[in-house]
Amino acid sequence: EDQVTQSPEALRLQEGESSSLNCSYTVSGLRGLFWYRQDPGKGPEFLFTLYSAGEEKEKERLKATLTKKESFLHITAPKPEDSATYLCAGRGNMLTFGGGTRLMVKP
């Protein structure tokens, strides 16, 4: 059975304080590792796809990386507007989602 686990469940940062979110996965025949952002009351918004170990993708203050067992979402010098829940998901036969990390960035 495919499994995706995210940690921590919640993370509080001061504005400008860089950190990383972790996504551990066990997905048979991984066909992609996906990161999403979800704001309260809205649907998940697609951020990145990573296909192979060693791959990196960047968008503004976010950088996603992938190893054979984990993916990390690095947030550099976060701003309050980066506050959201970040979801990762692994695609085997279907997409399996982790439980998410709720990020709160205080000014």
Binding interface with another protein (CB under 8 A): 31-32, 34, 36, 41-46, 49, 87, 89, 91, 94-95, 97-100
For the bound state, the minimum distance from the C-beta of residue 40 to another protein, rounded and expressed in Å, comes to 11
Residue 67 or residue 96: which is nearer to another protein going by CB?
96
Q: How far is the CB of 61 from another protein (least distance, A)?
A: 21
- How far is 72 from 46, CA to CA, in rounded Å? 16
Half-sphere exposure of 13 (CA within 13 A, CB side): 25
- Residue 70 CB, nearest approach to another protein (Å): 18
